[in-house]
Structure 1
């Protein structure tokens, strides 16, 4: 690098102009816009105080029941797991009934003389 000189401002500007020309050659100006058909639309409801009457749509109970049936979790839809991955966690009821008095699973905070001393020391230092 000892034999190489620093590029002066004129050459830097020339490189910059050439780079911009090359970038502009491949840029395309978009003037027409449309809604993306693959993106979910969020339809906003009318204002609460508007005078426009709401549309009355007749309910199709068969469609609503089929929709709710499709949205159920697999354990309610099927008697047995349908895939290998559904087998994991298919039986979700606990093996041991939970109890607040069971000391194997409920670890409560105990106060001893050591914890009382440390708590009083922390309060005194602040």
Structure 2
């Protein structure tokens, strides 16, 4: 990365990024658990074939719901869920509540299929 010399001298920037990269490399070498997991793609995918980033809420998540986000350009809400490298839910909605409901419904169908079958049979019996 290229950094302006003035910014380095004035303290606005402390490094070109090399220091962070070197520190990260050294820390990963010292971490035995990290070393065991390197190169194993199954660490990123749940047993059902669902990527873990679809199951764990990110720090950057602003909607409060995993897989639901607001598109500033289109001014609508998106709900998404990917299973086995294919989107099973990728749809836009006018309201937040509709997007959340669609995501919850997709989660029930694809993440917990046995529960959704039980729920559907329960609704028929009542």
Please classify the TM superposition score into its range, dividing by the shorter chain length.
under 0.3
More helix by share: 2
TM score, norm. by length of structure 1: 0.25
TM score, norm. by length of structure 2: 0.25
**Greater Rg by CA:** 1
Task: Pick 1 or 2: higher relative contact order, CA cutoff 8 A, min separation 6.
Answer: 2
More strand by share: 2
